């Protein structure tokens, strides 16, 4: 759906998810993340960029595993340490994954994904048309219930800082794995919160599309 149509539907409160495509398991046990190899950090930094053209091909489960681990995985289980920082280690950011088969929430301690709703919410994650068909959109949600020890006036900025770190981890992983990605703030927050069935303590902050880069005629 093009951007103008989405904006018009948004004004009418009518940006809705699509029916799911394919089977949605209630729990997806991800393979262990591959924590070796990849591009050297400085080379990945040289490649980091936003891209907005994606193949529709689904990402392999191993790639999904690595992606979620770099975004929000546990890297030091002895201290419940995460790949990204959070104020007071509150780990308040919940990472959702919008797939054609359904919307999932990532659980870092078990490295699993849990089905939230068996609908395709990808088109609700942004006004831009590529989000409808790219294989997945990550959605970063702040869980205010986990920030009780942080002054209320600071919660949103702290959570936003944590999402920034997650998004950059994902950018660097994508640079290393030859994937395309873009972090996004331009979406209908009410429509997306409804589509995701979020509770009162949950606040959508940003979304990030990931997929294989669209092949140009020359590269195909």
| Residues at the site binding ligand FMN, with contacts judged by CB under 6 A | 49-50, 52, 128, 182-186
Neighbours of 23 (CB within 10 A): 8
- Return the structure tokens found at 73: 């995985």
CA–CA separation, 213 and 56 (whole Å): 9
Minimum CB separation of residue 88 from ligand FMN in Å reads 23
Alpha-carbon span 136 to 139, nearest angstrom: 10
Q: Which is nearer to ligand FMN, 145 or 185 (CB)?
A: 185
- Least CB distance from residue 18 to ligand FMN, whole Å? 20
Q: Where are the alpha helices (DSSP H) in 73-207?
A: 152-177, 189-195
* Shortest separation between residue 183's beta carbon and ligand FMN, angstroms: 5
In the complex, least distance from residue 55 CB atom to ligand FMN, rounded to whole angstroms? 17
* Residue with Cβ nearer ligand FMN (128 or 193): 128
Is the CB of 49 or the CB of 110 nearer to ligand FMN? 49
In the bound state with ligand FMN, the residue whose beta carbon lies nearer, of 69 and 130, is 130
How far apart are CB 171 and ligand FMN at their closest, in Å?
7
Between 17 and 126, whose beta carbon lies closer to ligand FMN? 126
The number of residues in the chain equals 220
Let me know the angle formed at the C-alpha of 108 by 104 and 113, rounded to the nearest 5 degrees: 25
Task: Tell me which residue has its CB nearest to ligand FMN.
Answer: 186
> What does the DSSP 8-state code read for residue 155?
H
Instruction: State whether residue 142 is helix, strand or coil.
Output: strand
């Amino acid at each position: 759906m093009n951007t103008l149509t989405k904006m018009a539907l948004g004004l009418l409160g009518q940006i809705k998810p699509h029916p799911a495509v394919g089977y949605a398991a209630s729990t997806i046990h991800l393979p262990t993340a591959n924590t070796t190899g990849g591009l050297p950090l400085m080379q990945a930094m040289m490649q980091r960029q936003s891209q907005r053209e994606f193949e529709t091909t689904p990402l392999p489960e191993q790639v999904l595993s690595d992606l979620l681990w770099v975004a929000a995985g546990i890297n030091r289980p002895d201290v419940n340490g995460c790949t990204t920082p959070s104020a007071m280690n509150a780990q308040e950011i919940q990472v959702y994954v919008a797939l054609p088969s359904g919307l999932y929430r990532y659980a870092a301690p078990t490295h699993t994904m849990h089905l939230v709703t068996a609908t395709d919410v990808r088109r609700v994650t942004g006004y831009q048309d590529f989000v409808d068909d790219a294989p997945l959109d990550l959605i970063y949600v702040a869980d205010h219930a986990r920030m009780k020890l942080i002054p209320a006036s600071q919660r949103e900025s702290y959570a936003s800082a944590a999402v920034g770190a997650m998004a950059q981890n994902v950018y660097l992983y994508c640079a290393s794995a030859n994937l395309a990605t873009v972090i996004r703030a331009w979406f209908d927050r009410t429509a997306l919160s409804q589509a995701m069935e979020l509770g009162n303590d949950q606040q959508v902050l940003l979304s990030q599309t990931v997929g294989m880069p669209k092949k140009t005629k020359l590269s195909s």
